Amino acid sequence: MKYQKIPIKKIDGNVFEIEPFGGMLRPGRIYASDAMLQGLLDDDAPLQQVINVAHLPGIEKYSLAMPDIHWGYGFPIGGVAATDWKEGVISPGGVGYDINCGMRLAATALQYDEVKKKLDKLIQELFKTIPTGVGSSHAIRKLSKKELQRVAQEGVNWVIEQGFGQPTDLEVIEEKGKMPFADFSVVSPRAVERGLDQLGTLGSGNHFLEIDVVDQIYDPVAAAAMGLFKGQIVILIHTGSRGFGYQICDDYLKVMGKAAQKYHLHLPDRQLAAAPIQSPEGQDYFAAMSCAANFAWSNRQVIMHLAYQTFKRVFSASDSDLQFRLVYDISHNIAKKETHKIGNKEKTVCVHRKGATRALAPNHPLLSERYKSVGQPVLIPGDMGRYSFVCVGTQKAMEETFGSTCHGAGRLMSRNKAKKAGLGRNLIKEMAKRGVVVQAKGKATLAEEMPEAYKNVESVVNIMHASGISLKVARLKPIGVIKG
Amino acid sequence: MKAFKEFEHKADIGLEIHGHSLEELFANGLKGFYTLLFGISDFDRFENSTETYRISIQEETPEDLLVSFFSEINFLVNVKKIILFPVITIKIEKIAPGYSLFLESGLITRIPEELWDNFTEIKAPTYHGLLIKRENKLYKARVIFDV
């Protein structure tokens, strides 16, 4: 297959390659079905962004795109690129405004039959307990600047010390909830102010806390390692670094815009602004971004703990009855210092994952003992009416995608179109008919986030499964959702 | 001339703004931005503080000035929980090098609950597709906000 505008060809069942042209330093590689690719060729802005990313100095192997690729700022959403740690650049556009936006899955011993009678009450209580963001009353008190510094530099360990969760949780959080290069001194006063009252808040837009039932098991061995079984009640949390991270991204886009000029980087898009990783600007961004990443893991930790307390209260359950525990927490917007095999050599690179999830293979040294034999859990949310998926990383992901896979469904309708489609409809009732209890702060959010506004995540997950990049373990069906 | 209108964007929100001068463009941009955040731009019925508030920003280009202006307003809403209303003065001047903005405004310091109920959280104004141009004596700007 060869298309006219963009020199793209199919190289495998679900893999397409853009041959380097113009200023591209590496090829582009897109994981997609034929139908998905046709959609991308009809509206080629995301593919153009794959091409743009291939211009980044120091990029290794490929500019990659996962099947949930769609237009983003700088990088496409679903974009992955690794740059040489010594000679390459780092770009805030490869991380996004919501630094360490990510997913967390917690399991219980409860089954659907035990929960269904109290589901309305549970969702009401969760909605009351977990603040959705600006204008909400706070579940935990506003942090002092010193406390925020500890969150930013020490990550989840510090919030566990404050009573939010168990030390064993750390083993099943990416990076154990702490990026080692975090330096609070390079975070602006403005970002600090924006972060002080946002720990333990969900936020609006596509962020959510969901109660799911494990609806299908594809891989019983991996599911058993994660403690998942059919009919089980689990909790899925999607949120990130809130205003703290948004402000850090905003601040450093300005810094990087100037740095790109200073270091004579010729980049095709201003939102792709970058600086050499080893430059003062690159080092400062990485240190500030790491602070936001630590905040985001801590945010999900606090929210999970609030959910745990709510479950205990609503079901009058003891810890042994509830067996509430963290399965995994993973980022899908981050830049990380990692080692990957490039050619015949192990090389240190900066892996940018923008709307993409780390997917480490079994026996990877960064995996906790619990998941050594099965691979790293990958959490891929869908819309609130259909399904989310739990998958695992593979050796093929390590070889082809710098240990990365997809992150979600991607929008089908614009926000305005979705709002228009939701006019005059009682979406809460419609969701209830589908067996999902929903509580949301704003009517507009509900319309923007209704299931038909999104693509079916299953088609995305299936591409990565068929490609052998991440393999399906379990399917989760939402029964209750809270949103900002 | 329509002061501002939303334009279609798949994942986020776009704002097109018009004005006969840069000052009017920024004043209309402020109204448009509040409309995105709260659904309204006229806060007459809400209690004002007796204080005034001043903003002073300098940037290299009018486009950068607009992004910094929206960043400032977003920060004031999210962190300081204040709305600048009514605007008393906006002055934009060409300086060497770049542009400066000075704004003086009345102030709503206690954003009422009913406004938070319809609040749309915006992460940041972005540089993507950002433009300010002058055509037929009318300024036009386009900004996309990450939601």
* Segments of chain B scoring below 50 in pLDDT: none
Task: Tell me which residue of A346, A340, A386 sits closest to A359, measured CA to CA.
Answer: A340
Task: Tell me which residue of A478, A126, A97, A353 sits closest to B121, measured CA to CA.
Answer: A97
Size of interface A-B (CB pairs under 8 A): 84
Question: Are the Cβ atoms of A484 and B121 closer than 8 angstroms?
Answer: yes
Question: Vertex B101, ends B96 and B107: CA angle to 5°?
Answer: 160
Q: Which residue of chain A has the CA closest to B130?
A: A270
Compute the half-sphere exposure of residue A153: CA atoms within 13 Å on the CB side of its CA: 12
Contacts of B146 in chain A (CB under 8 A): 73, 97, 246
User: Is the separation of the CB atoms in A412 and A453 below 8 Å?
Assistant: yes
| Topology of the domain comprising A102-483 | tRNA-splicing ligase RtcB (3.90.1860)
Contacts of B71 in chain A (CB under 8 A): 250
Question: Are the Cβ atoms of B116 and A135 closer than 8 angstroms?
Answer: yes
For residue A352, the model assigns a pLDDT of 98
Is residue A465 among the annotated active site residues?
Answer: no
Question: Are the Cβ atoms of B127 and A270 closer than 8 angstroms?
Answer: yes
What's the mean pLDDT in A220-235? Answer: 98
CA distance A236 to A215: 14
CA distance A294 to A177: 6
Identity (one letter) of the amino acid at A415?
A: R
For residue A412, the model assigns a pLDDT of 86
- Tens of pLDDT, residue by residue over A390-422, are 999 999 999 999 999 999 998 888 888 888 898
For residue A302, the model assigns a pLDDT of 97
Band of residue A132 on the pLDDT scale cut at 50, 70, 90: confident
Question: Could you say which of A207, A305, A407, A465 is catalytic?
Answer: A407
Instruction: Kindly list the distances between the CA atom of residue B146 and the CA atoms of A5, A138, A289, in Å, as whole numbers in the listed order.
Output: 29, 24, 18
- Tens of pLDDT, residue by residue over A348-396, are 999 999 999 999 999 999 999 999 999 999 999 999 999 999 999 999 9
- Number of residues that make up chain B: 147
Question: Vertex A27, ends A25 and A30: CA angle to 5°?
Answer: 140
Q: Is A114 left (phi over 0), alpha (psi -120 to 50) or beta?
A: alpha
Peptide bond preceding B86 in cis form (omega within 30 of 0): yes
Contacts of A253 in chain B (CB under 8 A): 127
Give the closest of B10, B71, B113 to A71, CB-based: B10
Contacts of A483 in chain B (CB under 8 A): none
A417 to chain B, any CB pair closer than 8 A? The answer is yes
CA distance A309 to A165: 10
Give the closest of B6, B116, B124 to A416, CB-based: B6
Task: Tell me which residue of A331, A289, A80 sits closest to A180, measured CA to CA.
Answer: A289
Displacement of CA A435 from its chain's centroid (Å): 26
Mean pLDDT rounded to a whole number for chain A: 95
Task: Tell me which residue of A405, A466, A471, A469 sits closest to A223, measured CA to CA.
Answer: A471
Instruction: Kindly list the distances between the CA atom of residue A47 and the CA atoms of A109, A351, A426, in Å, as whole numbers in the listed order.
Output: 44, 19, 37
B127 to chain A, any CB pair closer than 8 A? The answer is yes
For chain B, positions 2-31, list CB contacts with chain A under 8 A. Answer: 6, 8-13
Residue A127, pLDDT above cutoff 70: yes
What is the nearest CA distance from B59 to chain A, expressed in angstroms?
Answer: 11
Crossing angle (nearest 10°) for helices B62-75 and B22-38? 40
Percentage, residues of chain A above pLDDT 90:
88
What is the nearest CA distance from B34 to chain A, expressed in angstroms?
Answer: 15
A73 to chain B, any CB pair closer than 8 A? The answer is yes
What's the mean pLDDT in A192-214? Answer: 94
Question: Are the Cβ atoms of B111 and A243 closer than 8 angstroms?
Answer: no
B40 to chain A, any CB pair closer than 8 A? The answer is no
Give the closest of A271, A413, A444 to B127, CB-based: A271
Predicted-complex ipTM score: 0.89
Q: Which residue of chain A has the CA closest to B6?
A: A416
Domain ranges of chain A: 102-483
- Tens of pLDDT, residue by residue over A90-103, are 999 999 999 999 99
Q: Does CATH number 3.90.226.10 belong to domain B4-146?
A: no
Crossing angle (nearest 10°) for helices A34-42 and A45-53? 90
Domain ranges of chain B: 4-146
Question: Are the Cβ atoms of B127 and A253 closer than 8 angstroms?
Answer: yes
For residue A254, the model assigns a pLDDT of 92
Structure tokens at A21: 């042209």
Give the closest of B8, B77, B118 to A442, CB-based: B118
Contacts of B12 in chain A (CB under 8 A): 415
- Tens of pLDDT, residue by residue over A427-462, are 999 999 999 999 998 777 888 899 999 989 999 999
What is the nearest CA distance from B102 to chain A, expressed in angstroms?
Answer: 20
- Tens of pLDDT, residue by residue over A106-125, are 999 999 999 999 999 999 99
For chain B, positions 92-111, list CB contacts with chain A under 8 A. Answer: 111
- The number of helix segments (H) and strand segments (E) in chain B equals 3, 8
Question: Are the Cβ atoms of B79 and A193 closer than 8 angstroms?
Answer: yes
For residue A4, the model assigns a pLDDT of 55
For residue A2, the model assigns a pLDDT of 46
Q: Which residue of chain B has the CA closest to A258?
A: B60
Question: Are the Cβ atoms of B121 and A249 closer than 8 angstroms?
Answer: no
Question: Are the Cβ atoms of B119 and A247 closer than 8 angstroms?
Answer: no
Question: Are the Cβ atoms of B126 and A73 closer than 8 angstroms?
Answer: yes
B78 to chain A, any CB pair closer than 8 A? The answer is yes
Give the closest of B12, B121, B127 to A134, CB-based: B121
For residue A1, the model assigns a pLDDT of 45
For residue A410, the model assigns a pLDDT of 84
